[in-house]
Amino acid sequence: MKDILEQLEVRRADARLGGGQARIDAQHGRGKLTARERIDLLLDEGSFEEFDMFVAHRCTDFGMEKQRPAGDGVVTGWGTINGRLVYVFSQDFTVFGGSLSETHAQKICKIQDMAIQNGAPVIGINDSGGARIQEGVASLAGYAEVFQRNIEASGVIPQISVIMGPCAGGAVYSPAMTDFIFMVKDTSYMFVTGPDVVKTVTNEQVTAEELGGAITHTRKSSVADAAFDNDVEALAEVRRLVDFLPANNREKPPVRPFFDDPGRIEASLDTLVPTNANTPYDMKELIFKLGDEGDFYEIQEDFAKNIITGFMRIEGRTVGVVANQPMVLAGCLDIDSSRKAARFVRFCDCFEIPILTLVDVPGFLPGTSQEFGGVIKHGAKLLFAYGQATVPMVTVITRKAYGGAYDVMASKHLRSDFNYAWPTAEVAVMGAKGATEIIHRADLKDPEKIAQHTKDYEDRFANPFVAAERGFIDEVIMPHSTRKRVARAFASLRNKKVVTPWKKHDNIPL
């Protein structure tokens, strides 16, 4: 018996070494952790339970039968993050470059199936050279099996991808279908075709970092949600994100202890909006002052900065925040901000996360590049996302809410539950100057008359009371009491139920 136990320990030790000490040292030399070190950092200490440690590939072509390392290039299992169940797979670059084989894919699929069955998030740590060429179509089939499970899990359990090395070709589509993608600067990249293929086909000279690095995907393409300096920081932020999320679509997000008075008065908010309507201010100041302990977890911080998305807590409960940012493009909606916010709103709606919308929007960004790029359809995505959402929704208009952008930003007409406005709010079809020049076109040559018409329009419409008279604004509130009013509104909506017509699925304007 003792010999058998010793043999098991030897086999386990061999499996934990992956591709061997030399390759582990090479991994460390690139500034990267190994697959197992990453799991140890991600999960609570001692909580990891591994599956399929001894699985080996079955390929016999190209001499592959002579190399059959245990685990086959991916470490899979389950554990806890702050005591809550999660499933995880971590690709091991020290074994065949983390390439995906038939059995490698089967290990990942098993974890995905268990996560769906047991209603727990799945976290994938990607560090792979792509499909294992020696296995041919079997490896491609493996990718498709993983993709299908990503699709089935979408909206059922949270899916998080952490890119910690190469992720190219077909491998990119699994992370692309997950809810959040994190990357590591300088050591991770994602692209469908690499720099060599790009040079051959289009004659463009580009590095892997420029083509698909963390900065590219967080600032330009919006593929990734955040980029971090190293593996340790990225995994710590994943732990923080998981804390905001529910385990699945049938559970509420976790309620955390809080030490911040829900009725807290913030006198500084009374002077947040400048007297001059064209002067910008930082909407993040309002967000920090509304959330418990000023904590805010921003999503896609470096992309489409004219809109802010992220998570805060109010009375210890997760709330998704969508807010226009007057500091960038005056807070206008455009193609990028519409896509960013629509994706976030749909995620919150999938997982019963209430949505707080902070509005200061002068309209959609004009221009040929926006129209040629399809701003109509992209703006409709945000409109569709809000109109479809059935979670509790509270909207606060701080300043401008003009034109179609007023409608789109969680207006009362899109079934928002509570619509508040500050006294500084201006709910109108357009700004006073533009409206005056259209209505009083005959007086354009008389500056004094135009100035008087503009003032009259401002006095009549540049306020929240016309909308409040019609019930489109539920209450005009004092800025300093915003946290109290928002907290009470969400508390009253905890048992909200909405019945919608039966449908197979919607047809969102993609």
Burial letters for 114-147: b for 16+ Cβ neighbours within 10 Å, e otherwise? bbbeeebbbbbbbbbbbbbebbeebbbebbeebe
Angle between helices 137-153 and 102-118 (to 10 degrees): 10
Note whether 43 and 83 are within 8 A (CB). Answer: no
35, 405, 410, 421: which one is catalytic?
405
Residue 300 has phi, psi (to 5 degrees) of: 55, 50
Torsion angle, CA of 298/301/305/311, rounded to 10 degrees?
-10
Strands 166-168 and 189-191: parallel
- Give the C-alpha distances (Å, rounded to integers) separating 445 from 350, 433, 441, 454, 456: 54, 14, 9, 14, 18
Q: Left (φ > 0), alpha (ψ -120 to 50) or beta: where does 38 sit?
A: alpha
155, 404, 434, 468: which one is catalytic?
404
| Cα distance between residue 88 and residue 110, in whole Å | 11
Mapped onto helix, strand or coil, the DSSP state of residue 90 is strand
What are the structure tokens assigned to 151, written together? 């699709």
Nearest alpha carbon to residue 484 among 278, 290, 348: 290
| Cα distance between residue 68 and residue 95, in whole Å | 10
| Cα distance between residue 340 and residue 303, in whole Å | 8
What are the structure tokens assigned to 48, written together? 């990891």
119, 155, 170, 316: which one is catalytic?
170
Torsion angle, CA of 437/438/440/444, rounded to 10 degrees?
40
Whether 405 is catalytic is: yes
Mapped onto helix, strand or coil, the DSSP state of residue 439 is helix
Strand runs (DSSP E) across 284-330, as ranges? 296-299, 307-314, 317-324
77, 124, 142, 169: which one is catalytic?
169
For residue 441, what are the contacts with CB-CB under 8 A and spacing of at least 6?
none
Whether 170 is catalytic is: yes
Strands 159-163 and 180-184: parallel
Residue labelled with tokens 């600067």: 185
For residue 229, what are the contacts with CB-CB under 8 A and spacing of at least 6?
184, 185
Residue 21 has phi, psi (to 5 degrees) of: -60, -35
Note whether 93 and 255 are within 8 A (CB). Answer: no
| Cα distance between residue 83 and residue 75, in whole Å | 21
∠ CA 466-467-471, rounded to 5°: 120
Nearest alpha carbon to residue 341 among 330, 356, 328: 356
List active site positions. Answer: 169-170, 404-405
